Structures are given as C-alpha cells and as structure tokens.
Amino acid sequence: MHGMERIALFPGSFDPFTKGHMAIVDQGLRIFDRIIVGVGENGDKRGLLTMENRVRLISDIYHGNDAVDVVTYGMLTGEFCQKVGASFLLRGMRNTVDYEYERSMAVVNNQLFPEITTVLLFTPPEYVAVSSSIIRELVAFGHDPAELMPEHIEIKNYL
Ligand code: ADP
C-alpha cells in the first residue's frame, strides 16, 4: 500500500559499499518498511567502481530481500526522494566530521524539501574506521580490503 509504507532513501557514492553502510541499512530496516539505496551519479568524479558495478555489488548483498532496492540517480537527492516516494533520508554518522557535513546537508534539504525528514544513525563502534576511501586506497596499493567489505563480497569481482 504505497503512501502508507515508510520508505527511506539511503543516498551515497558507495564506491564501494562497505560493512559500515551495511550496518546502517540493517538498522534502518528496523525503522522503515523499505530502503532504497541510491547510488548518486557524480559527473566529475571517476571512481574505483563503475556505477553499474556499484549497483551490482549492493544487489548481490540484498538479493532476496524485498525490503531493499538499489538504483542510480542523477538529480538532487531531495528531488529523487519525491520521485520514488521516500519521506525519509537515511544517513550514517561515524564521528563529528560526518556530523558537521550531515548537519549542513540536512539544513539545506530541509529548506528545499521540508516534507522530507533526515534520519541519522550511528555506526556500530566496530565500523567507525571503515570508509570507502580507505578501501580504495588499499586496492590502489594491491591489498585485499575483505575485512572492510560485507561478508562474501570480493572486490575483485567488481573492479
Ligand atoms: P557520500 O559521498 O554521500 O558521503 P558515502 O558512500 O561515502 O557517500 O556514504 C554514504 C553514507 O554512509 C553517508 O551518510 C556516510 O556518512 C555513511 N557512512 C559511510 N561510511 C560509514 C560507516 N563506516 N558507518 C556508518 N555510516 C557510514
């Protein structure tokens, strides 16, 4: 029953999706009926993974879980929320650096899209040091970042 469902968009670059991201989705599923993981297209940034492979990696994690969808989008995050019927913006927070960034984004989003509520969840303590950028750095220097990736996901299958 669309409209009664609590739908959250979890937006990000997800280059690549990490254990930390997964912890946010898993916690989010206790609050929301459905989570749409939105991989944002960022024209000027050539990442480690192509957009297609970022989506494939996340889809591989959540295949069989009807409550999680994965899509790419290339518009303002708030506009995309409206398009997919998401009333909530889900974000993760590791530390005060994330806090400051998320705070500014939430202020702007609230001005432009007052009907959308930002929900920030703390990452579990074991993942506070996990980031996509550390994984990219490990891969760049030939190391396997398996410890930071969701279980059963091998980065080499997505490069
Ligand atoms: P962005 O480029 O939009 O920051 P990211 O893919 O880096 O996209 O992150 C998406 C969201 O996940 C952000 O809210 C970010 O703070 C959060 N996040 C990133 N790493 C972690 C982690 N280890 N634990 C919890 N949240 C995280």
- Per-residue confidence of the chain (159 residues) as pLDDT tens digits? 555 899 999 999 999 999 999 999 999 999 999 999 999 998 766 799 999 999 999 999 999 999 999 999 999 999 999 999 999 999 999 999 999 999 999 999 999 999 999 999 999 999 999 999 999 999 999 999 999 999 999 999 999
Phi first, then psi: what are they for 47, rounded to 5°?
-95, -165
Radius of gyration in angstroms for the set of CA atoms belonging to the chain, rounded to a whole number: 15
Would you state the pLDDT for residue 43? Answer: 73
pLDDT at 91: 98
**Atom from ligand 1 closest to the CA of residue 98:** 16
> What pLDDT score was predicted for residue 44?
64
**Is residue 12 lining ligand 1, measured as CB closer than 6 Å?**
yes
Looking at ligand 1, which atom is closest to the CA of residue 128?
Answer: 23
23: how many CB neighbours lie within 10 A of its CB?
19
Q: CB–CB of 13/40 below 8 Å?
A: yes
Q: What are phi and psi of 155, to 5 degrees?
A: -60, -30
Question: Tokens 């806090």 appear where?
Answer: 99
pTM for the model stands at 0.95
